[in-house]
Chain A
């Protein structure tokens, strides 16, 4: 039996569907990802699965418990690392952990040991008795990660755990999260970084506008690009107008702007490259580099939606 089973899960906010008929099954011990741009409905999904937001429609069971009738039992089993910090600034790191531990029924010596263990895990053992308000952003981030682990949950929800971190800090968090999984915890991670989903997750559901538009292992998702090739264009000042012109070029299936320039999906890379260069010189866009790249999850998203994850 899957540890998470959601069917037809839907949430409507003011007439708009934030999550739209979601079906999801996550196996015990699995590392599952929800990949999608801002506003795709990832946090709303996590809130419903974690019992704190009532679905408009649909059913969810967690380890066989229904979220509507057995919220308390479910809350004992799950840990949540919310996208925004949830820490008391006026309490110390250890007091924050102790408080949430006690709310989950962890007490006494067991609580003390667990607090030390978690603080060591995120290298905050020397700051255990300092008020959180004296912490740097990075330290708060690390503490926020482990508060949701205080009661040794079987299922962990990580909502965009690396958003806003620099690449080095992100790597450190990735290593940390991998250690959570090696302890046998089932993980549902949400992210809008395709590298993150690719690197960490065994299966990924790609979400857009409340809907799951693809669901498979990262490798198979990338293979689903099929015969299409990806042209990676590094260029500056690519306007919307240029992008629209580009999309009309012969052989271009999809094109989208990235932070570095453009990605173009095509069945005939060599011919299209020449056309892209011609268009760029007419439009006055300076191309820094141009090459055929390995497909990424981003390209899968572009293929399915015509946009990038950052749009």
Chain B
């Protein structure tokens, strides 16, 4: 298997490059640590909360208007539906105004997702504050916490997958493309072409090398997450591995694509960053997506990183299964296919 020979050579060169090892393993761990320590609470910007209004009195409407002036209320009809959305992690909380609220027979209920940590606490405080302002001390509000499998917010839920995806893409993009560019510059690409190997062996070897490095990154990041930062993986570890495999392929495909239209390492690194930074910052890898304005939350969905992050969190935090994360996986896989198809199509086979 010539592919193994080619990948083995590239891996050997990679492990002799201390700088590459730093950016691949140490730097992302540093990011995970810094973000995990620094972000225990966030400011609230445009927080979406569900509202179920079963009492149509003017008092109830005015109360909800008051809440709407600070939060973004979205009306739903059905209590069970609202609770399910909170439990699913789609919204952080729901306010339920039962019939008989205005007559004083029933209290309003605030159902919130405890696993969202400080963010959820902020929402509870806001609702509580508005309610006190509206009704005085005798608040007709019951606060009720729900949670999925995860009881406590742990910043590692955000930053191990978040920084992990970002750095796997970054290293995939930069290292895979740089290796190919360097081989062309050093004249070794020509020597590989002169060998009696199949046309795809060379890129196959580089893809394999990139995949192995990415796998090592993921193992290190999740290893440190679990054993150092106490990250609990509620769902299946196999699913985490499956998502990771797609993310790694996304990075390798990015590198392949970038190598096709850049001629220097600097250009390759610039092009990778131009993709990876927006795809990280805007797609919820750096900050939970809930704190971003609504239109930004829609923009986030165009990035494969958003879907990868969603899939990770659905499995790690909410313990979801394969069928439930299938749409997210399909979105990432689609990008993988596009990157690989373009990368291989545009690959220059002549020296």
Contacts and interface: CB of A to CB of B under 8 A. Distances in A.
Indicate whether A and B interact: yes
Interface of A: 47, 50-54, 72-73, 75-76, 78, 80, 82, 84-91, 95, 99-100, 102-105, 131, 147
Contacts of B188: 86-88
Contacts of B193: 52
Q: Is the interface of B mostly helix, strand, loop or mixed?
A: helix
Contact of B190 (A75, A78, A82, A90): A82
A52 B195 contact: no
Given A86-B188, A88-B186, A99 B9 contact: yes
B17 interface: yes
A105 B196 CA distance: 8
5 contacts: A52-B193, A52-B194, A52-B350, A53-B351, A84-B190
Interface of B: 2, 5-6, 9, 12-13, 16-17, 186-188, 190-197, 350-351
A147 B196 contact: no
A88 B194 contact: no
Contacts of B351: 47, 52-53
B198 to A, nearest CB: 8
Contacts, number: 67
Nearest to A84: B187
B194 A80 contact: yes
B190 A86 contact: yes
A147 B191 contact: yes
Contacts of B197: 103
B5 A99 contact: yes
A102 B190 contact: no
CB-CB nearest 4 A-B residue pairs: A86-B187, A103-B195, A86-B191, A75-B196
Contacts of A72: 196
B5 A103 contact: yes
A131 to B, nearest CB: 8
A86 B13 CA distance: 15
Given A75-B196, A95-B9, A102-B5, 9 more contacts: A52-B190, A52-B193, A80-B191, A80-B194, A86-B186, A86-B190, A87-B186, A103-B196, A104-B196
B194 A91 contact: no
A162 B338 CA distance: 46
A95 B351 CA distance: 22
B187 A82 contact: yes
Nearest to A147: B191
Contact of B13 (A53, A84, A90): A90
A82 B191 contact: yes
A54 B350 contact: yes
